[in-house]
């Protein structure tokens, strides 16, 4: 399992998500034909920044725009910081270098700082110093962080004097406190006199005050934890480190009272509490106050044996009882220690066996039978189980912790790919349903029937238009008259025919009949005159109605053509997209398979390393166990010899007494 494999996989995953997951809502929008239409740069960037500040670097990288020509340098810097956090260090290195080359001022300085920090964390101290020394100005908010990293790189390079000069210019705050703490460690490695390290630690403690984190957005604490809580926890941890280091240095200087004063300030829930308690007891033991030493060491016994100082506390209690002349309590202490060692050896055997059986990942990072092992303390059961203690023990090694982070990252990647496969399955099902829907619609919607109806309407409108033209040519006013006029004309005809029937059927007054006919003639003339008067207007209305009808027919024909196009082209387009989804699913499934294989390889590697280290710890505890048994045996032997000597001496005295009685 190599780092290159993980980096390659991460890059492939970003490319996949950029094309599909990111394509739906982020930097690259999906379009038919295997092309991706970029979203507006501003919108895509806002999507990416949202995920960056949520510490979801994979999604952020997938959603950043493909090109950066119009992206603000600040966003480019965040993009490469996200690459660095995600493990694409070479890409990030090239990106920071590019920003430094293309820009000046504050943005170039920030890029140089990020490059220096990356090199420092990667262990490239010379490259880190080279980047830090290019910075000639720095944003005030970021200045303490830069100074802290720069001074740490100088200390690693062995230049404590230059580091001290840089640190002296720092403002109070946690970053200055860290810098002085690192300086104290450097002095301790060089000086035989502890005055300089103690002074540096004292300054570190004085500067460890709440001045804000000095860290830009996106680099704060874990998700779900506020920046204030993260900063407060960091200050408390640093305070405990300072007090423990100061106490140990004072103990080395044989200033036991000062050492106790420092060590007693270490918080009881601190990870450094066991070491502080052991050292605290040691200060009393060196003063000959074994009773108080025993009290401190008894408190240390409550912590897991994996923590440095706890096994020494076990041995120290028995030693202190012996120094007080209390052999009975010393025996009890040895027996308790032996019992604790035996219990720890059983736990270690169980953990080693479980890792060998189901692997490191399933044993230590998932719920397993190891969770059912008894806890050390009734309170804080989640952090005081043997499983948690040994996980912390293994994670103390930086290389192992990095591999464990890769394993957790791989687990998240596989979960994300699972979600992605689920989304693609849903999309695939939706497209399949849409294609089936088109088939049903083609059966249900018969456009030919609608076309025939429109054809009949078109023929009828043509006949009406021809009638209009004939009326204009023949001056047929009544044919285009309104319905009311035509009804009046028809009624006159009806009255005329009725009058004629009356005349033919019975005798009538000729004069009266003539008057009636004249009236009908006048009415008919009036109707015709009315039709003639309205003839131009009626012709115009008919033309407008025919034009409107023609427009409606054209619109309906166009709509039917569109329906035909949708019913014929739609399924083809959807089938193309369905093939693209199937291709993406195949690619994602292959990526998931590769991720799973890498996870198995990494799990195997972590399992081998953890078993090796646990076996080493087992040997240490076995040695402590044998020493405790040997010490107990020697104590029993010493007591037996003392009792034997006392018995012999008492017998001798009694023998002398009886001899004198016989002589008398």
Q: List, for residues 385-432, the tens digit of each pLDDT value.
A: 888 888 888 988 888 888 888 888 888 888 888 888 888 888 888 878
Q: How confident is the model at residue 32 (pLDDT cuts 50, 70, 90)?
A: very low
Q: What percentage of residues in the chain have a pLDDT greater than 70?
A: 76
89-132 pLDDT, tens digit each: 888 888 899 888 888 888 888 999 999 999 988 888 899 999 98
The tokens of 265 are what? 């300030």
pLDDT on residue 223:
47
CA distance linking residue 213 with residue 228, whole number of Å = 8
Give whichever of 59-63, 332-336, 441-445 has the largest mean pLDDT: 332-336
The pLDDT assigned to 291 comes to 92
Q: What is the pLDDT of residues 521-538, one digit of tens each?
A: 777 777 777 767 767 776
Which range has highest mean pLDDT (16-20, 241-245, 458-462, 556-560)?
Answer: 241-245
Q: For residue 49, what pLDDT band results from cuts at 50, 70 and 90? A: confident
Tokens of 337: 């220690």
- First-to-last CA distance in the chain? 95
So what's the pLDDT on residue 276? 93
Q: Report pTM.
A: 0.70
Q: Is the pLDDT of residue 145 over 50?
A: yes
Comparing 519 with 90, which gets the higher pLDDT? Answer: 90
d(CA 390, CA 301): 16
13 vs 7: CA distance, rounded Å: 10
Tell me which of 495 and 629 has the higher pLDDT: 629
Chain-wide mean pLDDT for the chain?
Answer: 79
- Provide the CB-side half-sphere exposure for 440 (13 A, CA): 6
Give me the pLDDT at residue 350, please. Answer: 92
Q: Does the pLDDT value for residue 242 go beyond 60?
A: yes
Spatial separation of the C-alpha atoms in residues 235 and 172, rounded to whole Å: 12
Quick check: 25 pLDDT over 60? no
What tens digit of pLDDT does each residue of 496-511 get?
787 777 777 777 677 7
Q: pLDDT of 442-483, one tens digit each?
A: 555 555 556 566 666 666 666 666 666 666 666 666 666 666
Instruction: Bin 288: left if φ > 0, else alpha if -120 < ψ < 50, else beta.
Output: left
CA distances from residue 528 to 180, 397, 439, 495 in whole angstroms, order as listed: 116, 113, 59, 16
**Residue 571 pLDDT > 70, yes or no?**
no
Within 8 A by CB and 6+ apart from 238, the residues are: 174, 177, 178, 181, 204, 208
Average pLDDT value for residue range 371-380 = 58
Strand partners, 28: 38
DSSP tally for the chain: helices H, then strands E: 23, 2
State the number of CA atoms in the 13 A half-sphere of 78 facing the CB.
28
Burial (CB < 10 A; 0-12, 13-18, 19+), residue 581, is buried
Top-confidence range, 11-20, 576-585, 655-664: 576-585
């Amino acid at each position: 399992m190599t780092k290159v494999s993980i980096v390659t996989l991460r890059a492939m995953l970003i490319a996949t998500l950029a094309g599909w997951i990111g394509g739906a809502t982020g930097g690259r929008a999906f379009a038919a034909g295997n092309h991706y239409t970029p979203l507006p740069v501003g919108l895509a960037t806002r999507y990416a920044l949202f995920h960056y500040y949520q510490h979801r670097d994979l999604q952020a990288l997938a959603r950043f725009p493909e090109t950066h020509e119009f992206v603000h340098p600040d966003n480019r810097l965040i993009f490469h910081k996200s690459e660095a956090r995600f493990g694409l260090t070479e890409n990030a290195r090239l990106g920071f270098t590019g920003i430094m080359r293309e820009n000046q001022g504050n943005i170039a300085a920030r890029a140089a700082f990020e490059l220096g920090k990356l090199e420092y964390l990667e262990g490239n101290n010379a490259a880190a110093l080279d980047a830090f020394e290019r910075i000639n100005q720095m944003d005030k908010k970021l200045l303490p962080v830069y100074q802290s990293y720069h001074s740490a790189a100088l200390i690693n390079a062995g230049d404590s004097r230059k580091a001290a000069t840089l640190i002296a210019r720092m403002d109070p705050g946690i970053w200055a406190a860290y810098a002085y703490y690192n300086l104290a460690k450097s002095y301790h490695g060089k000086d035989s006199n502890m005055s300089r390290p103690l002074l540096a630690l004292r300054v570190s403690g004085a500067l460890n005050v709440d001045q804000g984190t000095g860290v830009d957005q996106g680099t704060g604490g874990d998700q779900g934890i506020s920046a204030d809580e993260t900063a407060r926890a960091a200050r408390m941890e640093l305070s405990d480190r300072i007090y423990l280091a100061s106490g140990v240095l004072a103990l080395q200087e044989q200033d036991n009272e000062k050492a106790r004063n420092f060590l007693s300030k270490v918080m009881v829930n601190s990870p450094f509490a066991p070491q502080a308690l052991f050292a605290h007891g040691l200060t009393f033991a060196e003063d000959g106050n074994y009773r108080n030493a025993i009290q401190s060491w008894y408190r240390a016994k409550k912590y897991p044996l994996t923590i440095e100082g706890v096994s020494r506390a076990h041995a120290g209690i028995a030693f202190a009882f012996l120094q007080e002349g209390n052999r009975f309590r010393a025996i009890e202490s040895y027996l308790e220690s032996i019992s604790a060692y035996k219990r720890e050896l059983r736990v270690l055997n169980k953990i080693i066996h479980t890792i060998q059986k189901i692997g490191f990942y399933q044993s230590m990072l998932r719920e397993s039978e190891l969770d059912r092992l008894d806890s050390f303390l009734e309170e804080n059961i989640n952090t005081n189980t043997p499983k948690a203690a040994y996980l912390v023990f293994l994670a103390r090694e930086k290389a192992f912790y990095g591999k464990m982070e890769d394993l957790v990252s791989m687990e998240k990647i596989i979960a994300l790919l699972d979600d992605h496969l689920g989304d693609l399955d849903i999309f695939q099902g939706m497209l399949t349903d849409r294609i089936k829907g088109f088939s049903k619609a083609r059966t249900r919607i018969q456009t030919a029937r609608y076309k025939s109806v429109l054809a009949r309407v078109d023929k009828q409108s043509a006949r009406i238009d021809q009638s209009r033209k004939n009326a204009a040519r023949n001056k047929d006013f009544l044919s285009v008259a309104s319905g009311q006029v035509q009804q009046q004309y028809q009624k006159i005809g009806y009255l005329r025919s009725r009058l004629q029937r009356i005349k033919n059927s019975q005798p009538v007054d000729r004069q009266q009949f003539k008057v009636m006919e004249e009236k009908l003639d006048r009415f008919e003339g009036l109707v015709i005159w009315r039709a003639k008067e309205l003839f131009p207007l009626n012709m115009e209305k008919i033309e407008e109605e025919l034009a409107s009808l023609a427009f409606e027919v054209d619109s309906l024909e166009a709509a039917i053509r569109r329906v035909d196009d949708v019913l014929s082209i739609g399924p083809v387009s959807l089938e193309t997209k369905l093939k693209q989804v199937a291709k993406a699913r195949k690619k994602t499934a292959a990526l998931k398979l590769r991720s799973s294989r890498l996870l198995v390889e990494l799990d195997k590697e972590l399992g081998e390393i953890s078993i090796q280290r646990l076996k080493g710890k087992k040997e240490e505890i076995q040695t402590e166990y044998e020493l405790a048994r040997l010490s107990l045996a020697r104590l029993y032997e010493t007591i037996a010899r003392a009792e034997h000597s006392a018995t012999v001496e008492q017998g001798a005295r009694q023998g002398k007494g009886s001899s004198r009685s016989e002589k008398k």
